[in-house]
A and B are shown apart, each in its own frame.
Chain A
Amino acid sequence: MSYQHPESSRRVLISLVPVICPPEAATLAEAIVDHMALTIGQMPPLLLKALAAGFTTYDLGALPRFRKRAHKLSPEQAERYYESWVHGPTPVHRQFGQMLNQIMSMSCYEQPEMMARVGYHVAPWIEEVKKKRLTVFADDIKKQEASILAPDPLRPGLTKAKKEVA
């Protein structure tokens, strides 16, 4: 079962896209948050639980100060509130804030539009060098492939005489 953001977490994340991501990524908010789910879904269970608790605390934690949950804050308030976590009173606040920044920034720059914007065109580069390698170094490549399979016992003459088959 693949991970999906709980609705409350999703709302918090969407509200944070304008805070953490560059303005050019504003139109990619849904894709960025979807991508974050792929990353979060791979995390170990302990971290997943900590994140879930973190999202809830973050959302509710805005109430005393702003009388609104975090996902309902205006962009300026969202920025101020997020900053209060990143420079927060405890390592837990700071680490949660930083983790949000890390995961969201990563998902932001996994978007094709953002990769193109920074001049990262790796797929054609891989194809180009792969072809070049196979052409220019074909003989050495074949030699290594043959060497991988060539007989070369670690203890010449010492083998297990009877090979048992399952």
Chain B
Amino acid sequence: MAVARSALHEGAGPTGVFTRHDIHGDTVIDCDVVIVGSGAGGSPIAAELAEAGFDVVVVEEGPYYQTRDFTADTSAMVRQLYRDGGATIAIGNPPIMFQEGRAVGGSTVINGGMSWRTPDDILDRWRKEAGLDVDGKSLDPYFSRVEKRIHVAPNDPEAIGNENLLLKRGADKMGWKYVSNLRNQVHCIGSNRCAFGCPTGAKQSALVSYIPRALHYGARVYADVKVDRMTFHGKRATGVLGRVVNTESGKSHRVVVRAQLVVAACGAIHTPALLARSGLSSRSGRLGKNLGLHPNIKIIALFDEDVTSWKGVHQAFQVREFVEQGLGCFAAVNLPPSVTAMSLPHKGRALGEIMDRYNNMVVAGLLVEDTTSGNVKIINGRPQAFYQLADRDIVTMQKGLVLLSEMMFAAGAKKILLPFHHASEMLSADDTRRFFSKPIPASSWELFTVHMMGTCAMGSDRTTSVTDEFGFMHDVDRLLISDASVFPTPCRVNPMETIMTLATRSAGYVIDNAGRLFS
């Protein structure tokens, strides 16, 4: 067994970051806390505990990149930063494509940076249904702390692009309420590349906020290390076993991390898989169950005026008029030409004619607060998500697409393209209403999501939940779960700030109980 050498690899990374270039043999690492995953759930715990004096090791399956590595090459960024090249699928009818970040910083590197506190009524529901002692007031210090750390702020008005101004115009004309987005950014200037790694450094992802802080206070980050399973002594978690493939030699090396406390922060798909691969189960029977997805669907609105939506901040407004009807929000986003083209049902000459109007397009989407849940199973050692869209959520989406289309026509759209292969182009709101007057078969929907939640749900009752209210797994000693898998129900809003807040609260619990946890 060898110990990894110091991590400065020809300027590739700061002290404390080890990558596949640095590990040349089987390696054993001892520490107080090992955290598997470096995204919204893992990085705040790493920073908080490192600052409190704990010896923290973060193990991340994905590579370590820095802001200078994020380029305009969209497909290269997708291949480098997304798990499975962004083509992971939840099996069902329809299949739902979902995206997860796979890099140091996790999905915070590829998200839009929307930073919303958990709505009070969702916390109410968690209190009533899961027995959690949480509300807006008790979580306020943690929300505030996270917001300070990742610099949650309104967008600079001059950086808001035309596609968002058109969305706002539509909402104004309809008299619908909308909110200006809060995002974790410092003077985001509108390169509109959030989803491909922020090339300006404006977005305060974990990569440029919590991870540098954790490193500063002595944490170590091991990138490129895939954790296969956890280790146990009786019921007590004692560490993790992983492997890394060295770049130069091409050889695979074992990485063993021995720790007093193990934190699983791999997201709602991979955390239950890691637990299951480690031989764990929950007496509640809910490990890997209760998967919420916030299904998303988008339309493309064509305007006569120039939009050039790739100039401007990623998402400036969310229309929230229909929250009570299960429609979390309507929003406008920019997609690069390649991603736009893949969203279109057109082909051949028709595809070319539509794409020639790329700079007149607004891509607008809606998010549904799902009323059903799926699950994650292990197939050949890999997690596979299964999710069957509920009929009532299809009805909600149909309603939502009619409303969204009405709003975009009110904003001045001349044509709307629906994401259905059998849909003709909609030239008016009446066209859209007629189209949706009949049910659309489930198989026709093209859905995607970036919000996976709920597969290790928290709760006060160990017979109905996987973890306690601080994220510690019931019936296992010293195993903390910190990611969206602990959400008892979908959180309706973009989940990053909720994940970070619960992680910070868990870190506080660890510090408060260090005497017991680290004895």
Contact = CB atoms under 8 A, between A and B. Distances in A.
Interface of A: 18-25, 35, 38-39, 41-47, 79, 86-87, 91, 94-95, 98, 101-103, 105-110, 114-115, 117-120, 122-123, 125-126, 129-130, 132-133, 136-137, 140-141, 144, 147-149, 151-155, 158-161, 163-166
Top 3 closest A-B pairs, CB basis? A22-B352, A42-B85, A118-B358
Count class of interface residues, chain B: 35 or more
Given A35-B75, A43-B85, A133 B52 contact: no
A91 B93 contact: yes
A101 B95 CA distance: 16
- Label chain A's interface by main secondary structure: helix
Given A35-B75, A39-B75, A160-B53, A118 B382 contact: no
B89 interface: yes
B104 interface: no
B512 interface: yes
A79 B380 CA distance: 38
B464 interface: no
Contacts of A110: 74-75, 338
Contacts of A20: 347-348, 351
B87 A39 contact: yes
Given A42-B79, A148-B213, A166-B55, A154 B338 contact: no
Interface string B376-416: 00011010100000000000000000000000000000000
A125 B518 contact: no
B15 to A, nearest CB: 13
A94 B504 CA distance: 46
A64 to B, nearest CB: 24
Contact of A21 (B209, B216, B351, B514): B351
B59 to A, nearest CB: 13
A21 B193 contact: no
Given A22-B352, A106-B339, A144 B382 contact: no
Interface of B: 3, 29-32, 48, 51-55, 57, 71-72, 74-75, 78-79, 82, 84-89, 93-95, 145, 148-149, 151, 186-187, 189-191, 193, 199-202, 204, 208-209, 212-213, 216, 218, 308, 310-311, 336-345, 347-349, 351-353, 355-356, 358-359, 379-380, 382, 384, 421-422, 443, 446, 504, 507-508, 511-512, 514, 518
B51 A153 contact: yes
Contacts of B84: 42-44, 47
A26 B87 CA distance: 26
8 contacts: A46-B382, A87-B421, A95-B443, A106-B342, A108-B341, A109-B355, A118-B337, A160-B53
A39 B85 contact: yes
A164 B55 contact: yes
A114 B337 contact: yes
A165 B75 contact: no
Nearest to B44: A154
B351 to A, nearest CB: 5
Nearest to A41: B85
Contacts, number: 211
B382 A44 contact: yes
Contact of A144 (B78, B204, B342, B344): B204
Contact of B342 (A103, A120, A137, A155): A103
B422 A87 contact: yes
Contact of A109 (B31, B57, B341): B341
B52 A159 contact: yes
B187 A140 contact: yes
Nearest to A91: B443
A160 B339 CA distance: 48
Contacts of B337: 109, 114-115, 118, 120
A113 to B, nearest CB: 11
A44 B270 CA distance: 14
Contacts of A120: 310, 336-337, 358-359
Given A118-B355, A119-B358, A149-B216, A154 B85 contact: no
Contact of B88 (A44, A106, A126): A44
A118 B351 CA distance: 12
B53 A133 contact: no
A163 to B, nearest CB: 5
Given A22-B352, A106-B339, A154-B507, A160 B518 contact: yes
B123 to A, nearest CB: 21
Contacts of A108: 338, 341
B89 A47 contact: yes
A126 B352 contact: no
A88 B193 CA distance: 37
A30 to B, nearest CB: 16
